[in-house]
Structure 1
Amino acid sequence: MTHQTVTRCVPGAYASAERPRLPLSPWRHLVYVSAPSHPSGPHRAVPKSTKELAVPGFSYNGTITLSSSVKDLDASISWFEDALGFEEIFKAAEAGWAEVSTPAEGVSIGLDQTDADAGGSGGSIPVFGVVDIDAARAELEAKGVKFDGETRELPGMVKLATFFDPDGNRYMFAQSLVEGAP
């Protein structure tokens, strides 16, 4: 089995016109990546495609949004554009929500405008895109995972369900209700 060594990473740039092909591991959903300087060792397995990953009972849709609380939605969008080169991909000012792209395919930063008087930062909440939120929620509830209330729906936009890991950290599932969205 041959391995590819990555020496430099520039978002959106490749050494050739074709994306590098990585060898498959014995497990269909993983590839081996050779990265001698990586802290986990020179060879580590990474998902081939999040769109191919599923667990019994529900499927992911290939997206993840890292949600952060912000005090000023427009100022935060500008900061991500100017400082990091990200692009605004969605904004619902009336809902106090926006998303900006990242260089990683399927990964975005969600900006959730909160009350300026709330104090402190709200941290980040990973939001996993799922195909069917009801199936995903039922599967986790059957495994004893605790949810924060009922599944919420923003009509025509998204369904959201917040759940907790054993340490009380928040995570969310999101099912897009927008036609044609992943």
Structure 2
Amino acid sequence: MKIKSISLGWISTSNLAEAKKFFQEDLGLKLTSDNEDMGWLELSSQGGEGITLGIADGSCEESPKPGSNTILTFTVDGKIEDAKKELEDRGVTFEGAIIEVPGHVKMVTFFDKDHNMFQLVEKLD
């Protein structure tokens, strides 16, 4: 078997409308699919690069419990310090300080309202 690509990462939320607002307005992602009947959203970066983020209604039996996910990362365009400050000003909760892996990346962990964990990343190469 050969994996052709990684195209989607998804999380569960306790409030689909609130998640839609958070990812569109606070993080600036582009909504690419909104299926209320199925309890499902898909978002991507404004430039369309990287994987698609899927968000499922966590009240559905089939969905994992919100806040129990793998970490998704969002690579920022510019300085991570500026992006962190902008999100903090919007009420986003961060955990710990910005960590630097010299010559590679800077990263910092943040949470959505369901306490799903994410990271902002600044590539240093």
TM-score by length of 2: 0.49
Give the structure, 1 or 2, with the largest relative contact order (CA under 8 Å, sep 6 or more): 2
TM-score by length of 1: 0.35
